[in-house]
Amino acid sequence: MDWLSLDLLPPLLKGLKITLLLTVISIVVAFCFALLAGLGRLSRFAIVRAIMSTYVEIFRGTSLLIQLFWIYFALPMLLDVRLSAMTAAVIALGLNYGAYGSEVVRSSILAVPKGQIEASTALNMTPYQRMRRVIFPQAWVMMLPGFGNLQIELLKGTSLVYLITLADVTYQGMTLRSFDISRTPAILAWLLILYFIASYTLTLIVRLSERKVVKGRG
C-alpha cells in the first residue's frame, strides 16, 4: 500500500479544512456582493448604477490573483492596517466572484417576462413587493445554474491563496514537497484528487438544490 502514500493525507486534510472553510465563507460574501451589485445595477438611481458598474467592471477586468496581491500587500500599506491572509483572501474572493455573480443576478432579473412586472403594477404592488414577491422568486430559479458554476470556479480559485501563504491544501502540499522532493508526484496527485472530490461534491449539492427548487415550482 506504499504507492498510495496515505501518510501524506493527514497534513493535506488539515489544509483541505482551511480550503473548504475559505470556500464557504467566500461563497457567502460573494453572494451578498452579487445581490447588492446585481440589484444595484438595475437601480432607478444613476449614481447607484454607476458605483456598482464601476465595481463590477474593475473586478471583472483585472484578475483574481492581482486583486489578492493588491489587497494583501498594497492595501495595508495604503491604509496602514494589518490584514490576515485569511481576511485578505475572503475579501478578494468575495469581491471577485461577487462581481461575476452580479451578472448572473442582473441577467436573471432581466429575463423575468415583462408581463409579470406589468401585472404586479396592475395589482398595485409597491416596487419592493414587486421585487420580493414576483420578480425575485422567478429570477432565483434562473440564477441557480450560474451560481453553481461560479461556486466551482471559486473553489478552484482558492488554490491561489497559497501564494499569499495561507495554509490551505495547496500550501500544505507544497510544504510536504519541501521536505521530500522525490514525493512530488504523489503529493500533487493527492492534491488533484482532493480538489476533484471537493468540486464534484459541490456540483452534486448544487444539482440537488436545483432539483428541489424546480420541483417546488412544477
For other proteins, the binding residues (CB under 8 A) are 57-58, 60-63, 65-67, 69-70, 73-74, 77-78, 152, 156-160, 162-163, 170, 174, 177, 181-182, 184-185, 188, 191-192, 195-196, 199-200, 203
> At 120, is the secondary structure helix, strand, or coil?
helix
Residue 212 CB, shortest distance to other proteins, in Å, is 23
Residue 193 CB, shortest distance to other proteins, in Å, is 9
Helix or strand (DSSP H, E) at 69: helix 64-69
Nearer to other proteins, 75 or 125 (CB): 75
Provide the grid cell at 211. Answer: 432539483
Nearer to other proteins, 35 or 163 (CB): 163
The burial of 61, by beta-carbon neighbours within 10 Å (0-12 exposed, 13-18 middle, 19 or more buried), is given as exposed
Contact 73, 66 (CB under 8 A): no
- Return all residues near 121 (Cβ < 8 A) that are at least 6 apart: 130
Nearer to other proteins, 69 or 140 (CB): 69
Radius of gyration, alpha carbons of the chain: 21
Cα–Cα dist 165/177, whole Å = 15
CB atoms closer than 10 angstroms to residue 204 = 10
Backbone conformation region of residue 82, classed left if phi is above 0, alpha if psi is from -120 to 50, else beta? beta
Question: Of 90, 97, 81, 77, which Cα lies nearest the Cα of 35?
Answer: 97
Residue 146 CB, shortest distance to other proteins, in Å, is 14
Nearer to other proteins, 26 or 170 (CB): 170
Nearer to other proteins, 132 or 207 (CB): 207
Residue 37 CB, shortest distance to other proteins, in Å, is 17
Residue 81 CB, shortest distance to other proteins, in Å, is 12
Nearer to other proteins, 91 or 160 (CB): 160
Provide the grid cell at 214. Answer: 424546480
Please write down the long-range contacts of 52-55, taking CB distance under 8 Å and 24 or more positions apart.
52/102, 55/95, 55/99
Residue 194 CB, shortest distance to other proteins, in Å, is 9
